[in-house]
Structure 1
Amino acid sequence: MKYAYKTEIKPTNEQARKIRRSIGICRWLYNEYLEVNKRLYQMYRRGLLDSNQPYFMTANDFDKYVNNKLKTKPKYAWINKCASKARKKILMNAESAFRSFFAGNTAFPSFKKKMDEDIKLYFPKNNPTDWLIERHRIKIPTLKYVRLKEYGYLPTGAKIINGTVSQTAGRFYVSVTVEETISNYKSSYGGIGIAVKINSLDKLDEEKFPRLAVWQKRLQRARQKLSRKYSADNISGYCNKEKQRLKVKKLQQKIEWIKKDYLDKCVAEIMKQQPQYITIENLDIKSMALDKDMKKITAKQKYYDFKNRLLLKCAKYDIELKQADKLDEEKIIFVELI
C-alpha cells in the first residue's frame, strides 16, 4: 500500500534560496498559463475566435512554448533555474483546474498569490540514488542531502515513489509517497461505537485544552495588531506589517498542529482497542451549517479530518468502518472535537 509522510526539513541557506527561487518560478508559470487560457476563454465567449482556432491551451503545448520560445529570450533565462519536472507538474495542476471548471465541478481557477504559500515543488524518483532516507537527512533531487528537523520519523530504507517540497510560515517541509507492507492485524474485541461531540468555539474548556486556549488568545492579539493601518510611505511600518503577518501565520500553524496532534491521539486510542469493526455516529454537518449560530462553530471543526484519519487507519488494518444515526454497540468511545 502507499502512504504519505510529511515532516519538517532544515535546509542550508543555499538550499533555502533554491527552494524559494523555484517556488517563485513555478508560481509565475502557473499564473502565466492561467492568463493565457483566461484570455482565450474570453475571446471564445465573445465569438472572436474561428472554428479552427483553439480556445484552450494544454499544459504540454504551453510547456513546449516555454522551452522553445520563452526560455530562448535573455530576459527569461532564469526559468532554467527551476527543475523541469517541477515546472511541468505545476502546469499539469493548472490544466486539471481548468478541466474541472469546464466540467462544472469548481469555480474559475484563481491566480496564485505569494502570501498564500500554496505552491509545492514536485520531484519524481528518476535515479536509484534519488530520495534516499537516512536517520537525520534525506536526498532530494537537485537539492542533494537535506537535514531533517525530526530524526527517525521517515521510514529508513523505504521505497519512495515521489515527493514534494513546500514552504509555510517561514518553515520548509517535505512530503513523500512511500510503498509499505503492513503486518497482519489481529482483533481481540468485537465492535465499538464512536460518539462525536462538536465543541463550541465560545465555550472552550481551558482546563481540558490549556495549550489550545493559550495559543488562540495569542493569535487573537496578533490579529488585532495586524489589523492596524500602517502608512504606505513609511518603509519601517511596511516591514513591521510583514513581520506581524508572518507571526500570525506561525500561530495559525501552531494551532493546526495542536488540533491534528489531538486527532491523531484520539485515533490511536481507538485503534488500541483492536476492534473487528467500528461504527461512527453520523453527524449532519451540512444541516448544522445552515444555522447562523452553528455555521461558525462547524466551519472550524475537524469532523471530516477526524473521519478521514480514522478511515485511513481502518483501510490500513482492514477494519470495517460503518456509519449510523444511533449507536447500539456495547462499548462506546466519546470523542470531543475542537
Structure 2
Amino acid sequence: MLDVLKVRIYPNKEQEISLAKSFGCSRFVWNFYLNKTNTQYEETGKGMTYCQMAKDLTQLKKLTDYEWLQEPTAAVLQQSLKNLETAFKNFFAKRTGFPKFKSKHSKQSIRFPESCSIKDGNLKLPKLGIVKASLSKNINSKIKSVTVSQTSTDKYFAAILFETGDLTNTKEGKISGIDLGLTSLITVFDGETCYKVDPIKPTRKYAKRLRIRQKALSRKVKGSNKRRKAVKVVAKVHEKISNTRQDFLHKLSRKLVDDNQVIVAENLCVKGLARTKLAKSIHDAGLGMLLNFVSYKLEREGGKFVQVDKFFPSSKLCSCCGHKNDLLNLSIREWICSGCQATHDRDENASRNLRAEGIRILETNTAGHAEIQACGEAVRLVGNCAKKRVSEKQESPATPRKRLAGECQFSVLKFLES
C-alpha cells in the first residue's frame, strides 16, 4: 500500500528561483489548456484529452515565444496536464466543481512523478539537486512521487508518496461512539465511561491579533512594498490559526485511535452546515477534518471507522428503552424520557445510541452505511433539492452544470436537532 509523509524543506536561493520558475510554468500550462479546452468545445463540441494536450504541449515548447517552458523538467508539466484531466473527471462524477484558473497569489504546488530519492537525510529532486529537508522518520522503500508546495508565508513543504508494507489487522481496543457538536466538540462513550472534549476555538482566540493586523494592512497603499509585507503578516496569523487547529485535532484523533478498535460517528455534511448561521463555529471546530484524521489513522492501524446515516435520530432516541422524543429541539440539553423516566444528557445519550447503532451495523456485516437507512427521520423536501439527472455524455468542460446540494441541506436540519 501507499503512505504519505509531509515534511518541511529549506531550498537555497538558486533552488528557490528554480522552484518559482517551475511553479509559474506549471500554472501557465494549466491555465493555457483549460482555456483551450473550453474554446475548442465551444467551436467543435468536443474537449481535449490528456494525450492531445501533451502532444500539443510538445509542439508549443518548440515555439520561440514559449522556449521558457523547457526550463522545468518535462514530467512536471505533464503532471499538470494529468491533474487537469483528473479535475474534469471529478467534475463529471459530481465530486467537485468545475476546474478554475490558477492564480500566482495563492498557494503554489508542483509534483515530481519520478526520479526522487532520499540522500543523507535530505530530499533529492530533478533539476534541483539535494534539498535540505526535516524528515521525521526514515523512508527505506520506493518513492512514487513528491509534491512540493509553497505557502503564502514563503514556507516550502514536500509531500512524499512512498510504498509501504500491507497492514495486518492486529489492533485491539474498545468500540466507542462519538457525538459531534459545538458546545462539546466530541462526546465519547466506550461502553463503560462517557467523557467530553471541549473545542479550543482558535479563530476566536486569535481574533484580536488578526483584527489589528488587518487594520494595518488596510492602511497600506496598494502595490507598495509595505503592503506586500503586511499581507504576509496577516497570512502568518491565519497560518497560526490553522496550525493550532490541526495540532489539536491530530492529538485528539491519535488519542481516540489509540484507545479504540472501532469508532462510530455520524456522517455529517459539513459543507451544508457551513451555510447556516453557525458557519464560523463549524469551520473553527474542524468537524470534517477530525473525522478525516480518525478515518485514515484507524485504517493505517487496522481498525474500523463506521459512519451512521445523518438522519439517524441519535439525540431523540432514549438509550434505555428506545422511546423517541419528537418534541426535542436544539435548546434542550437535558430531557426526561416519558417512557422509562430516565434522565438524559443530550450529547451523552446521542453517543450511546451511535455506539449501539454501530454495533448493529457490524453485526449485519454491512460495509459502512450505504445500504442501511437506520431509522431515518421524515424530512420535508424543499422544491429545488432534488438532484437533476443529466446524461454525462451531454456534459462538457465548457458547460458546468448546476450543482444542487439537497443532501447537504438535509444534514443541516439533522445536525441542529442532534
Q: Per the shorter chain, which TM-score range?
A: 0.7 to 0.9
Letter in 2 for 1:156: I
RMSD (CA atoms): 3.0
Corresponding position: 1:160 with 2:151: no
Contact 1:34 1:111 in 2 (8 A): yes
Describe the shift of the 1:108–1:210 C-alpha distance in structure 2 as closer, same or farther (beyond 3 A).
closer
Give the whole-Å Cα distance in 2 for the aligned partners of 1:109 and 1:287: 21
**Cross-structure match for 1:308:** 292
TM-score (norm 1): 0.78
Is the partner of 2:277 in helix, strand or coil? helix
Is the partner of 1:222 in helix, strand or coil? helix
Q: Please, which moves more after superposition, 57-66 or 168-177? A: 57-66
Give the whole-Å Cα distance in 2 for the aligned partners of 1:160 and 1:316: 18
Give the whole-Å Cα distance in 1 for the aligned partners of 2:23 and 2:180: 40
Pick one of 218, 232, 241 that aligns with 1:246. Answer: 232
Describe the shift of the 1:264–1:133 C-alpha distance in structure 2 as closer, same or farther (beyond 3 A).
farther
Give identity over the alignment, percent.
26
Corresponding position: 1:178 with 2:162: yes
**Cross-structure match for 2:51:** 60
**Cross-structure match for 1:93:** 83
TM-score (norm 2): 0.64
**Cross-structure match for 2:29:** 29
Letter in 2 for 1:190: K
Describe the shift of the 1:159–1:215 C-alpha distance in structure 2 as closer, same or farther (beyond 3 A).
farther
Asked which structure has the greater CA Rg, the reply is: 2
* 1:240 Cα offset (Å): 1.6
Is the partner of 1:108 in helix, strand or coil? coil
Pick one of 351, 356, 360 that aligns with 1:327. Answer: 351
**Cross-structure match for 2:103:** 113
Contact 1:162 1:176 in 2 (8 A): yes
Contact 2:119 2:130 in 1 (8 A): no
* 1:105 Cα offset (Å): 5.3
**Cross-structure match for 2:71:** 81
Contact 2:175 2:263 in 1 (8 A): yes
Give the whole-Å Cα distance in 1 for the aligned partners of 2:52 and 2:199: 56
Is the partner of 1:120 in helix, strand or coil? strand
In proportion to residue count, which structure has more helix?
1
The equivalences for 1:270-309 within 5 A come to 270-273=256-259, 275-281=260-266, 283=268, 285=270, 288-289=273-274, 292-309=276-293
* 1:177 Cα offset (Å): 0.8
Describe the shift of the 1:327–1:198 C-alpha distance in structure 2 as closer, same or farther (beyond 3 A).
same
Describe the shift of the 1:191–1:100 C-alpha distance in structure 2 as closer, same or farther (beyond 3 A).
closer
Is the partner of 2:136 in helix, strand or coil? coil
Is the partner of 2:241 in helix, strand or coil? helix
Letter in 2 for 1:240: K
Corresponding position: 1:143 with 2:109: no
Give the whole-Å Cα distance in 2 for the aligned partners of 1:229 and 1:132: 44
**Cross-structure match for 1:12:** 12
Give the whole-Å Cα distance in 2 for the aligned partners of 1:303 and 1:4: 22
Contact 2:124 2:131 in 1 (8 A): yes
Is the partner of 2:47 in helix, strand or coil? coil
Structure 1 residues 54-98: Cα deviation after superposition (integer angstroms, max 9, x where no partner): 632223222222222x22222321110011010001112122323
Aligned positions, number: 301
Is the partner of 2:29 in helix, strand or coil? helix
Describe the shift of the 1:257–1:199 C-alpha distance in structure 2 as closer, same or farther (beyond 3 A).
farther
**Cross-structure match for 2:244:** 258
Contact 1:131 1:141 in 2 (8 A): no
Q: Which runs of 5+ in 1 are unaligned?
A: 44-48, 201-206, 331-338
Q: Which runs of 5+ in 2 are unaligned?
A: 185-197, 309-313, 315-349, 357-418
Give the whole-Å Cα distance in 1 for the aligned partners of 2:176 and 2:98: 44
Describe the shift of the 1:317–1:58 C-alpha distance in structure 2 as closer, same or farther (beyond 3 A).
same
Give the whole-Å Cα distance in 2 for the aligned partners of 1:318 and 1:171: 34
Give the whole-Å Cα distance in 2 for the aligned partners of 1:188 and 1:96: 38
Contact 2:183 2:199 in 1 (8 A): no
Contact 2:171 2:302 in 1 (8 A): no
